[in-house]
């Protein structure tokens, strides 16, 4: 019997359970457990949900290689506007269930990019709001480009909306919960949000 698939960007993404198992260091169909960024990002406990600590930035290096001196200086000295934006976001709302006003707030992250690119900002924000804020990277942009029609950082608002629609699709909800529960049962220290499960499944499609 074929493994169920996720509907992402109006296309089916096959084998999401196996892809997530592989990324999380669990046994999977292709061989023994492997080590990916899950150990160095998802399993590293987040700090205060409204404040950026060094560990939050350093954990993102597992997903965002090449942190520059300017990146480090920004989070050390100049991230006040980012933290103000972050503090305005609830910690207990899934992107799938966000209303229009909250979606607009998430999309507003685009206007904080500059000294630090949106890709890194979104990864730090995701550590603090793993249920609500997607991470921007090439795999996500490319997957959703046929839907958003956008490239680079300018894809962010359309991307947030498209991912919300996929998370809220009844065909996806049960499977996302099943995958999260599977990881929780195997790796008790971390339970990936439905949003993170989608991100992992899409990213692992290309490796």
Q: Which two tokens mark 113? A: 């990019």
Task: For residues 75-83, give the mean pLDDT.
Answer: 93
- In 3D space, the residue among 120, 135, 165 whose CA is nearest the CA of residue 9 turns out to be 165
> Looking at 58-72, 112-126, 177-191, which range is the least confident one?
177-191
Q: How far apart are CA 158 and CA 125, in angstroms?
A: 18
Q: Residue 8 belongs to what H/E stretch?
A: strand 6-8
Interacting residues of 180 by C-beta distance below 8 A, sequence separation 6+? 191, 192, 193, 194, 197
Cα–Cα–Cα angle for 19, 24, 29, nearest 5°?
45
User: Of 6-10, 35-39, 63-67, 185-189, where does mean pLDDT reach its minimum?
Assistant: 185-189
Per residue in 45-57, pLDDT (tens digit) is: 888 999 999 999 9
* Residues near 99 by beta carbon (within 8 Å), at least 6 away in sequence: none
For range 123-151, the mean pLDDT = 97
| Confidence bin at 1 (pLDDT 50/70/90) | very low
Q: What is the pTM (predicted TM-score) of this model?
A: 0.94
Residue 160 pLDDT level (bands cut at 50, 70, 90): very high
The band of 2, judged by pLDDT with boundaries at 50, 70 and 90, is low
Q: pLDDT class for 65, splitting at 50, 70, 90?
A: confident
Q: Span 97-105, mean pLDDT?
A: 98
pLDDT for residue 188: 60
Confidence band of 181 (pLDDT split at 50, 70, 90): confident
CA distances from 205 to 19, 25, 200 (A): 7, 16, 9
Give residue 182's pLDDT.
Answer: 85
* Residue (of 202, 92, 85) closest to 147 by Cα position: 202
| pLDDT above 90: residue 134 | yes
Q: How confident is the model at residue 163 (pLDDT cuts 50, 70, 90)?
A: very high
The pLDDT score that the predictor gives to residue 190 is: 75
pLDDT at 99 over 90: yes
Give Cβ neighbours of residue 48 (< 8 Å, ≥ 6 apart). Answer: none
- Report in angstroms the alpha-carbon separations of 54 from 30, 47, 132, 190: 36, 10, 22, 20
Strands (E), 28-68: none
């Amino acid at each position: 019997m074929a493994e169920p698939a996720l509907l992402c960007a109006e296309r089916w993404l096959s084998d999401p359970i196996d892809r997530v198992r592989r990324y999380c260091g669990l046994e999977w169909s292709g061989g023994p457990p492997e080590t990916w960024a899950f150990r160095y990002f998802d399993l590293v406990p987040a700090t205060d949900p409204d404040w950026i600590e060094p560990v939050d930035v350093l954990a993102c290096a597992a997903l965002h290689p090449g942190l520059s001196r300017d990146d480090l200086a920004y989070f050390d000295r100049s991230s006040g506007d980012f933290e103000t934006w972050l503090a305005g976001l609830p910690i207990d709302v899934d992107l799938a269930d966000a209303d229009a006003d909250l979606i607009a707030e998430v999309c507003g992250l685009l206007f904080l990019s500059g000294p630090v690119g949106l890709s890194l900002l979104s990864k730090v924000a995701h550590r603090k709001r793993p249920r609500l804020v997607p991470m921007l990277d090439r795999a996500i942009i490319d997957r959703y480009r046929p839907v958003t029609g956008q490239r680079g950082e300018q894809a962010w608002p359309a991307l947030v909306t498209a991912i919300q629609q996929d998370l809220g699709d009844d065909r996806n909800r049960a499977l996302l919960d099943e995958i999260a529960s599977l990881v929780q049962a195997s790796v008790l220290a971390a339970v990936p949000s439905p949003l993170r499960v989608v991100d992992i499944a899409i990213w692992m499609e290309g490796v």
